[in-house]
Amino acid sequence: MAYANRHDSGLAVLLLDLDGFKYINDTLGHQAGDQVLIEVSRRIRLVIRQADTLARIGGDEFCIVATDLRKPSDALRIAQTCLDSLRRRFSLPNAITR
């Protein structure tokens, strides 16, 4: 926030929670769940800017801190791009089903 104030720019904190993640762990196992988390983070990192911060803040929760935003719609664009990247089918080649 201090950076945004100093540079007279916007800042957005985006929170992402994975729906159905518990079901993946319960039915396919924690190894499959770990693969999903890795793939989610990979996809998000590919679409956010290098200066933005991505963090996993809980079991299935992620946070993106985006700085240097010029208008509120910039945050919406980032959120939509992330969601679009996660809509593609996930393949879990190393998952061991129970």
Which active-site residues does the annotation give?
60
Q: What phi and psi, each to the nearest 5 degrees, are found at residue 19?
A: -70, 135
Q: Ramachandran region of residue 20, left (φ > 0), alpha (ψ -120 to 50) or beta?
A: left
The CB density around residue 60, as the number of other CB atoms within 10 Å, is 19
Cα(74)–Cα(6) distance, integer angstroms: 19
Name the one residue in this structure whose structure tokens are 């079901």: 23
